[in-house]
Amino acid sequence: MLEGSCDCGAVRYTVDGALDEVTECNCGICRRSGGLWAYYSPTKVTMTGPTDIYMRGDRMLEMHHCKTCRCLMWWAPVDKGYDRMGVNARMLPLGAWDETPVKKSDGASW
């Protein structure tokens, strides 16, 4: 079980799963907000707290930010039939992903 929270604690997620790999993307939003993504089925993730949603470019992803401290918490697909979402591993407790393999994704070139 993984548990992450924003800086102020108002928004939280819980994942029924392990942290096997994380992805560091260099697209504009991920680079600027510190996104480090762990991917799961939305059926394995419980999300709580008030978020604002930002959608960029092709408007395929909802980027959820805490309304208070503005931390980027997770992304979810606009198409709810898509069985994948990303939680920001940087919201896990300090050191939780230190030994986890990091995959690089060139989102800036898409």
Q: What are 46-100's pLDDT values in tens digits? A: 999 999 999 987 789 999 999 999 999 999 999 999 999 999 999 999 999 899 9
CA neighbor of 62 nearest in space, from 50, 51, 81, 75:
75
Phi-psi region of 75 (alpha: psi -120 to 50; beta: other; left: phi over 0): beta
- pTM above 0.85? yes
Which stretches within the chain are classed as H helix?
28-33
Question: What are 53's two structure tokens?
Answer: 């949603």
The confidence band for 110, taking pLDDT boundaries of 50, 70 and 90, is: low
Q: Which CATH number fits domain 2-104: 2.170.150.70, 3.10.330.20, 2.30.110.10, 2.30.42.10?
A: 2.170.150.70
Q: CA torsion angle for 75, 102, 83, 87 (degrees, to 10)?
A: -30
How far apart CA 59 and CA 57 sit, in angstroms, is 5
Polymer length of the chain: 110
Domain locations in the chain?
2-104
How far apart CA 110 and CA 98 sit, in angstroms, is 28
